[in-house]
Structure 1
Amino acid sequence: MNKLKTFFSGAVIIASFVLISPVAAWAKGTPDSFADLAEKLLPAVVNVNTTQTIKIKRRTMPQIPGMEDFFRRFGQENDRRGSPGNGDEDSRKDNGEDRALTRKRQSLGSGFIIDPSGIIVTNNHVIDKADEVMIKMHDGRELKAVVIGKDDKLDLAVLKVESDKPLPYVKFGDDSKSRIGDWVLAIGNPYSLGGTLTAGIISARNRDIQSGPYDKYIQTDASINRGNSGGPM
């Protein structure tokens, strides 16, 4: 599936992976504005927020005759100071046995709608091991998503949301027609700030960085930051 690409920013490999999506619609030469294209595409790009429950086992202090009050005061003092794990849901055992801590880990990413029925494409690492996936639309609506397909090797995932009306969507473009020097736009949810658009050019094609069997990457200087993972270019 040659539509899955990763990108560079200058000479630095970006940690987020972005998916090729909307068809190129730029005029010849330098465009006067990207406003019309942005207005058309932004409603189909979504924020992907995930929650994962993780359990951590820690050893409690063993009971020592005459030291129970000391350890009790020590633990209370740490709680007042905000020690690691304070506020977590936990179950504890005495006598030096394991203490299980339950924490909620949240992550962010981007995605884009490819069908008005609510089919969304994102990166697999955005939703991997998540207990809950929530989608925030460009208009502010929040919808619960279910994972209906994923591929670890391609780092690709497909989500489904339910909506009472057809959703805005985009179509995959033909990346084989892209040329070095073409203008490109990247749309995503950097740092969980919401829909953000950046512009750049295709700096190179078919880059092979020896990272796997699908190394035919597109290199661009469009700004791609943490949270852009799964968004379209």
Structure 2
Amino acid sequence: MEQQSYGARVLVVDDDPTVAEVVSGYLDRAGYVVDRAGDGPDALARAAAHWPDLVVLDLMLPGMDGLEVCRRMRVRGPVPVIMLTARGDEDDRILGLEVGADDYVTKPFSPRELVLRVESVLRRTRPAPHSTGTLSAAGLTVDPAARRAAKNGAELALTIREFDLLAFLLRHPGQAFSREELMREVWGWDFGDLSTVTVHVRRLRGKVEDDPARPRFIQTVWGVGYRFDAGDGEA
């Protein structure tokens, strides 16, 4: 397990001591360095003292909820977030993704599954061996090694999944992909809620398109999914 986790620091934020203890125990055995916090202010203080490599964050925290904690952490710097929610309400999941969570898990959940999700998200933060060349098209540039992206020279503030999605589309211009294919290729999952892909496409459009309501680059292919069009001119 050590080879997969590389001793990464994970901050577990949950006001339920039992959940926090179980999750922390599984992560610890998987080789992670684990910090725990029971509420939002404590989470922010612990993150400031030791910036985590990833945060497992309960949505329903007392006082300051998980969405606000996520927003405040993101002001300080990019950090992967897996959101925990006790409710299966799709609105809660969408809200977490809109704030920039990289993944979510609905309670009750398997701790083993959560560890796999943590490993998956952290794996995506490390440049792949084949991802060394800079990608560019239509004024967009992506440097996978430095994990930096820009539009017309201005740096883009992308989450981990937004970055990976843009890089994948730039590698395959003109090719249409279904949401299932994007989930498998970008997220590395053979299962999951496909609305995750939909939300990330919408968020990415908001950052790379001049008019997100009329996208020129990330096109919807009706009945299929999405396609990156690099040469759609000045329409």
Flag whether TM exceeds 0.5 (same fold). no
Q: Which has the higher strand share?
A: 1
Greater relative CO (CA pairs within 8 A, separation 6+): 1
Instruction: Kindly indicate which of the two structures has a greater share of residues assigned to helix.
Output: 2
TM-score, normalised with respect to structure 2: 0.21
